[in-house]
Amino acid sequence: MAVERPLVVLLGATGFVGSAVLRELAVRDVRVRAVSRHAAPVPAPARAEIEVHTADLTEPGRLRQAVAGADAVIHSIAYIAGSTTWRINEGDSAAERVNVGLVRDLVEVLRDGDRNRPPLPVVFAGAVSQVGFTDKEVLDGSEPDRPQGEYDRQKLTAERVLLEAHAEKTLRAVSIRLPTVFGYGPHSTARDKGVVSTMVRRALADEPITMWHDGTVRRDLLYVEDVARALVAAVDHVDALAGQSWLLGSGRGLPLGEVFTTVADLVAERTGKPPVRVTSVSPPPHAEPGDFHHITVDATPFRTVSGWRPQVPLTEALRRTVDFCASAAEAERS
């Protein structure tokens, strides 16, 4: 008798990170329920059996339907209302409903579930920035959480809801705190609104790349395909990881001025035009203190437990991003 393949429910399957996770799951011998407001494109070719499930999870009963029969849940939903960033305003009730309310709903659904089944693994995509201000340049997970922005406060609240539910054995929670995630691959389907891809698009439009500082601010940048592999690895190693948060990163803090100069050079290589200028500008009113702090992530604990390693070098990831954005711009013009 054939054993039924495990069912992984992916919440947020059309999002920037979620769509990359879907592509990673598609090559596995599993069943995937890809849940999102709009129908998720099915990666091809796919080894996995993929069910496209469209739902507004804020509506009563829809989340219960979405996770019915799941063997694991990957939660990659994030409320991003702006056209370019993840920033949200304090008191944004719609953001609170999505970023925190859906996690509370998930806990309630699982609390009312089949008590004869073991607690369901839930992998949550958090954010390294939840820690808030710290004078440490290298973060290792030992820092106290003092989030500064509303997005980070909401992410931390959602993480704590899940970890409390883990403590009461309602589910098995793993929070993976993501650094600055960027990039596109040949099969990407979701828009990257982050700063790296935004500057790639500016350079392709022959506009200068701008920074709110002198370019020496360091960031730990992680390619989205490597992030997807990490979230799936967390499902594979849930027994060892459950019950706490884990930092994810490349282990390298790179000066953004150097990163953007590389972007300008790669765009010039693609277009045959001279590289655009990389220049400093005054920060806008919505800039936050964290925008000017150095961040490097020591992900050794997660790497040791899961065996995960970043596989795509930065320059290759940037080149893929440039190629994708350039092809999209060429297609739009034609």
**What pLDDT does 293 receive?**
84
How far is 113 from 4, CA to CA, in rounded Å?
21
The reply to whether 2 falls in a domain is no
Domain count, the chain: 1
Q: What pLDDT is recorded for position 334?
A: 79
So what's the pLDDT on residue 166? 98
Residue 28 lies in a domain: yes
* Residue 274 resides in a domain: no
The answer to whether residue 307 sits within a structural domain is yes
Q: What are phi and psi of 125, to 5 degrees?
A: -85, 100
pLDDT on residue 89: 64
Per the CB < 8 A criterion, the answer to whether 171 and 112 are in contact is no
Helix axes 256-271, 314-333, angle to 10 degrees: 50
184: domain CATH number is: 3.40.50.720
Q: How far apart are CA 219 and CA 223, in angstroms?
A: 13
In a domain, 46, yes or no: yes
User: Which residue segment(s) compose the domain that 236 sits in?
Assistant: 7-255+284-333
Half-sphere exposure of 318 (CA within 13 A, CB side): 23
Helix (H) or strand (E) holding 173: strand 171-178
pLDDT of residue 83: 47
Instruction: Tokens 């601010």: give the residue.
Output: 217
Does some domain include residue 268? no
17 in any annotated domain:
yes
**Is position 309 within any domain?**
yes
Q: What is the pLDDT of residue 137?
A: 86
| HEC-encoded secondary structure of 253-268 | CEEHHHHHHHHHHHHH
| pLDDT beneath 50, residues of the chain | 83-84
